[in-house]
Structure 1
Amino acid sequence: MEVRRGRVFAQMNTDAQIVIAIDIGTTSTKTLAVDLNGRILGSHSIEYPLHTPIQGHAEQDPDVICEAVMDSVGHVTKKVADAIKCVSFSSANHSLILLDANGVPLTPSITWADLRSAAQAERLIKDGSGLSIYSRTGTPIHPMSPLVKLVWMREARPDLFESAHYFVGIKEYVLNKLFGILLMDHSIASATGLLNLATLSWDEEALMVAGIREDQLPRLVPSTERMVGLKKQAADRMGLAADTPFIVGAQDGVLANLGIGAVEEGVLAVTIGTSGAVRTTVKQPAFDAQGKLFCYALTDDHWIVGGPSNNGAIVARWIADRLYPGKSIDEVLPLAAAVPPGSNGLLFLPLLSGERAPFWDAEAKGVMFGLTLAHKEADMLRAALEGVLFQITAIVSLMKQAGQRTSEVRASGGFARSILWCQMLADMLGVPVRVPESVESSGLGAAQLGLYAMDGCKGPLLRWKEQEGSLYEPDLANHALYQKILPLYLSLYDRLKEPMREISMLQHTSVG
């Protein structure tokens, strides 16, 4: 398999102590070397494929990801092995891997983007058990959830399900490879749909619905849990001493908040990479009556409430490829900037991968609405960009309805490098949008969590002063226009929801 590797920065100061932050993402693993002042001294990334052989399937090879983790760390530690204070993890959510008694995978890593459990999710919602489980676990009922994946696996592949000894996610698989232990931190566990947030233990009803036992799941630990005893082979591959302290870490979403300093109530973090998310920090678990917002753990005193969107920068890449083949995103964004807000009367529902928040509809489809002979490619491009941000704005509206206030937005992810998108976001939300100097938010969050854990969880969680970065003030006239468009945008989905399902049924029938 061919992978693309990043590079290690040459300016490595080996005199000061550093933290190694490993960020296991959906499309790549990136390792950062971060000094105690929050400066990124070096990095290395390794990409790997997401296998989608059939519509609705989204899987990865867990061993390929494990190799990427060890190799990316090894590239970064070459010059700094003696200066490492600890290693800390960030990881994507919602993956599921079935293991045999020896820890050997029986399945690929089934990722958050896999939609094969859509029917099971709909059933749990309709019979009311889903909302009951959500009210204790904080994970919305959707095919992304490992709980729902387990129900599907039990029904669709009973042979595999019955032969499995353990059910884990990708970070747990990697940790088992490195240390020979099965642990799951509270943060990752809180996104499985199986963890009772009040007791921080596995939820009995959720386990019963999933059809599994507590002893088939990893041992629960805080995100600040310290591990030692790295296997010799892994230590050699990673250029680390076997007694190097490892911090189990947390999920990438909650760490993104920490990485950009959004750990105070009222400060909203918006991350848009391939997918997107909106998150804010609260002091104790919080839920919404409709079961549409997640609540995930960071530490005992920091909980993250928000909503994820399936459709982020992947939408921009998709439409740019089709309208402007051969050109990069950077080349075509100026064309969208020349189109006025509202895209000359075009609306685009960017629901190309189904949708999580705010609709939680795996059968949702993309729609370009309002097309006339007068529209040009640039109008459609801008409508797609606006559609992604309308989804984000709708999630923010849900959060306001649930009592979460917004005073400032901090942006991260690939979209934060775009002046156009950041200004559009400020205009839509009507509040300032700040972009830190570094957009490596999850990795920087993992580094801070690692230092917090090494200090016995007694020092500050937020370690570094706020970066200056860029500040985008909202254009109030544009904000007023977007406020008028948003209800129309949302009503368009409501009116087309059933036709979207009907066309999915027709497609499934024709494929069958």
Structure 2
Amino acid sequence: MLYIGIDLGTSAVKLLLMDEKGKICKIVSREYPLIFPHPGWSEQDPAKWIEAVEDGIKELIADCDAAQIAGIGAGGQMHGLVVLDEDDNVLRPAILWNDGRTGEETDYLNDVIGRDKLSEYTGNIAFAGFTAPKLLWMEKHEPELFARISKIMLPKDYINYMLTGVFSTDYSDASGMLLLDVKGRKWSSRMLEICHVREEQLPRLYESYEIVGTVRKELASRLGLPDNVKVCAGAGDNAAAAVGTGVCGNGACNISLGTSGTIFISSDEFSTDSGNSLHAFAHADGYYHLMGCMLSAASCNKWWMDEIIGTKDYASQQKDITPDKLGRGHVYYLPYLMGERAPHNDPLARSCFIGMTMDSTRADMTQAVLEGVAFGMRDSLEAARAMGVNVRSSMICGGGAQSPLWRKIFTNVMNITLTIPETEQGPGYGGAILAAVGCGEYESVRQAVAELVRVTGSENPDPELAALYEEKYRNYRRLYPALKDIFHDISK
């Protein structure tokens, strides 16, 4: 049998076709635009997702025996607010995960409702990118539209709704809304009261691998699919990527170096860190995970290359960063292009270079960008270590992980072994695996990943280089506290 995996990303959707043995038969992608109506805002038109998914599916299955397609599973960008009226019309462009407009609402939730209460109700505190603050913002600034809301969805759930007509979500994605009692695996009645939301406006909750419905017959006919294709609930992109890289089971770890950067640590038990700098979410395998998220990771390098240097040849800009320069650079970079989530929870944090001298080169600054992202990711690793979580190794995936230089920097900054998956299609591959589990191909997610996920190699830290980066990381950690007030002053 064949399974379709959908990775609904921030700038494009990637679709893959996987057989029951985990072999990827074909991959297609479709881009769509981002909308930045104001500085710090980030939106998207959900109709563009649907167009991209439908067009992508047609190409994906054009050369296969469509009768063999059994299921579809999606991993999608988290936290985005998609709102529909009673006639299923989208009320406004989706407000995305990296949107920073909700500073006041986030402060209200954390400081007035209180971090302790939020943690009690949901297991998490408020971050500007979460869905709940966006609802409060919409209620305040767009009250007429807010009053017309009939359905509240996350991005990949809108795809599933268009495919099946079933109003659903999964626990992993819902964990990032700040409306879910994650430990209790139910909507939090207190958070619904605080955000003036009725439970009937929210979708039914499913495990990620559970089947929510089948593709609507008229749509299946139009796309060339059989009329019995099952659709599973799917997962948030990071949980789906964790499945796609085999990160299930207590203490397993994945680092995703994509547009955003995440460190994902699987856990059999629900737990939170004392400062709530890490997210405590449900995992797509039916258990839990801790996750630290930085808003700008590989996007920092893309910004530096595309907008500042003016090149698409990223590899050529790294050739002058020779091994003898690693850990010895004098330039530092703070990777806060869109503010920052973990561990600072500060939408007004800003990106900057510091430490340049007359002999600083473009290669020095490129190296600083790569190192700064790694340092930012280590902040989350340190928060996990403070909880007693001992991470000795991690999978690594995402576009940035394709760079051997960046992997070398990461393994030494983190001082852990990094393992490279054979299939570098994280969320889409995870979505296809979830669909296979939902269709009965495997008994559980953990069984599926044990049989399907393979590795091709690893990166190991060099003790001398790791020691150099340890000293640099200590300096890096001093920069944000020193600049925080300045960032806030210049962002007003």
Query: Under a length normalisation based on structure 2, what TM-score does the superposition of the two structures give?
Result: 0.95
Match of 2:340 in 1: 355
2:61 maps to 1:77: yes
User: What does 1:203-222 correspond to in 2, within 5 Å?
Assistant: 203-222=188-207
CA distance in 2, matches of 1:231, 1:465: 30
Deviations 1:354-402 (A, max 9, x none): 1111211100011211111121111111011100000011110011112
CA gap 1:370/1:106 in 2 versus in 1, 3 angstroms: same
Task: Tell me which amino acid in the other structure corresponds to 1:430.
Answer: N
- Per the TM alignment, residue 468 of structure 1 is displaced from its structure 2 partner at its CA by 3.2
- Per the TM alignment, residue 321 of structure 1 is displaced from its structure 2 partner at its CA by 3.3
Deviations 1:157-206 (A, max 9, x none): 11111122222122222222222221111121111110112322110111
Match of 1:334 in 2: 319
Residues 11 and 31, structure 2, Cα contact 8 Å, conserved in 1: yes
CA distance in 2, matches of 1:229, 1:36: 19
CA distance in 2, matches of 1:338, 1:317: 22
Higher relative contact order (CA 8 A, sep 6+): 2
Match of 2:19 in 1: 35
CA distance in 2, matches of 1:322, 1:221: 42
What secondary structure does 2:465 align onto?
helix
CA distance in 1, matches of 2:381, 2:18: 32
Match of 2:103 in 1: 118
User: What does 1:471-510 correspond to in 2, within 5 Å?
Assistant: 471-505=458-492
2:297 maps to 1:297: no
Residues 186 and 297, structure 1, Cα contact 8 Å, conserved in 2: yes
User: What does 1:100-499 correspond to in 2, within 5 Å?
Assistant: 100-299=85-284, 301-321=286-306, 324-337=309-322, 340-342=325-327, 344-455=329-440, 458-459=443-444, 460-499=447-486
CA gap 1:348/1:40 in 2 versus in 1, 3 angstroms: same
Match of 1:7 in 2: none
What secondary structure does 1:34 align onto?
strand
Deviations 1:16-53 (A, max 9, x none): x2211112111111111111221111011111011113
CA distance in 2, matches of 1:322, 1:72: 29
CA gap 1:299/1:342 in 2 versus in 1, 3 angstroms: closer
CA gap 1:241/1:161 in 2 versus in 1, 3 angstroms: same
Query: Under a length normalisation based on structure 1, what TM-score does the superposition of the two structures give?
Result: 0.92
What secondary structure does 1:362 align onto?
coil
- Give the gaps of 5 or more residues in structure 1: 1-16, 506-512
CA RMSD of aligned residues (A): 1.8
**Aligned mate of 1:54, from 27, 31, 38:** 38
Deviations 1:195-233 (A, max 9, x none): 112322110111111111111111222222214442233
CA distance in 2, matches of 1:385, 1:489: 13
- Per the TM alignment, residue 465 of structure 1 is displaced from its structure 2 partner at its CA by 4.8
- Per the TM alignment, residue 301 of structure 1 is displaced from its structure 2 partner at its CA by 4.0
What secondary structure does 2:91 align onto?
coil
Match of 2:5 in 1: 21
Residues 343 and 382, structure 1, Cα contact 8 Å, conserved in 2: no
Task: Tell me which amino acid in the other structure corresponds to 2:491.
Answer: S
Residues 82 and 155, structure 2, Cα contact 8 Å, conserved in 1: yes
Residues 339 and 379, structure 1, Cα contact 8 Å, conserved in 2: no
- Give the gaps of 5 or more residues in structure 2: none
User: Which range moves more in the overlay, 325-334 or 43-52?
Assistant: 325-334
**Aligned mate of 1:99, from 84, 105, 111:** 84
- Per the TM alignment, residue 337 of structure 1 is displaced from its structure 2 partner at its CA by 3.7
The percentage of counterpart residues that share the same residue type is: 29
Deviations 1:269-288 (A, max 9, x none): 00011111000100122111
